[in-house]
């Protein structure tokens, strides 16, 4: 097995919730890359987007991916856009087993509707935005080592499914 496990997928896929439980089960460290960015910047993701723009956020995101790809024994919950950058992808592929948590647009909409902290979905028609982004990103997420459909599953079930795949 490679040194880390990286969970990728769209916003609202459950990467952080699944990652925490998975890390505990495997006695690994859990790292939420968005939280690491916020800590580094001492401000929220929403503030970074608003004050410094998305390209700046992506630069910091890349630094954080590089930093944690250089360590071992971690479950990494990756921000939804991490896979769109070739260098991020190369670093993650090299240092981690990548698991794509796949979720339908309808469920993503339901899970993200009540939160305002995701600047990309803070738009008049979030459903359309989710569909557009998913269409572009799906081929990148699909480059993961394996995919788990999370749509109508509980966290516990998703974790079991991941553990089974690793044991196989």
Of 124 and 167, the one with the shorter C-beta distance to ligand S3P is 124
Report CA dihedral (106, 153, 83, 72) to the nearest 10 degrees.
160
Q: How far apart are CA 98 and CA 145, in angstroms?
A: 5
Q: Report if residue 5 touches ligand S3P, rule: CB under 6 A.
A: no
- Examine residue 155 and tell whether it contacts ligand S3P (CB under 6 A): no
Q: Which of 17, 119, 122, 161 binds ligand S3P (CB under 6 A)?
A: 119
- Which helix (H) or strand (E) segment is 147 a member of? strand 146-149
Q: From CA 49, how far away is CA 162, in angstroms rounded?
A: 32
Closest to ligand S3P by CB, 15 vs 97, is 15
Contact status: 134 vs ligand S3P (CB under 6 A): no
Lay out the site mask for ligand S3P across 70-109 (x = CB under 6 A, - = otherwise). Answer: ---------xxx----------------------------
The closest alpha carbon to 75, from 21, 11, 19, belongs to 19
Q: At what angle do helices 33-41 and 45-52 cross, to 10 degrees?
A: 60
Q: Is 62 in the site for ligand S3P (CB under 6 A)?
A: no
Using rule CB under 6 A, residue 11 touches ligand S3P: yes
The length of the chain, given as a count of residues:
168
- The residues of the shown chain that bind ligand S3P, judged by CB under 6 A, are 11, 15, 34, 45, 79-81, 118-120
């Amino acid at each position: 097995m490679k040194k880390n496990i990286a969970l990728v997928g769209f916003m609202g896929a459950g990467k952080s919730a699944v990652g925490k439980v998975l890390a505990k089960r495997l006695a690994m460290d859990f790292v939420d890359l968005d939280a690491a960015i916020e800590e580094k910047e001492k401000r929220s993701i929403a503030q970074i987007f608003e004050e410094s723009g998305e390209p700046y956020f992506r630069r910091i995101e890349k630094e954080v991916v590089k930093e944690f790809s250089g360590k071992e024994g971690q479950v990494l919950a990756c921000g939804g856009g991490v896979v769109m950058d070739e260098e991020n992808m190369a670093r993650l592929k090299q240092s981690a087993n990548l698991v794509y948590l796949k979720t339908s647009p309808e469920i993503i909409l339901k899970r993200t509707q009540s939160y305002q902290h995701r600047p990309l979905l803070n738009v008049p028609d979030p459903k359309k935005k989710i569909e557009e982004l998913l269409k572009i990103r799906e081929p990148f997420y699909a480059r993961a080592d394996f995919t788990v459909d999370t749509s109508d599953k509980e966290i516990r079930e998703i974790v079991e499914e991941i553990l089974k795949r690793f044991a196989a």
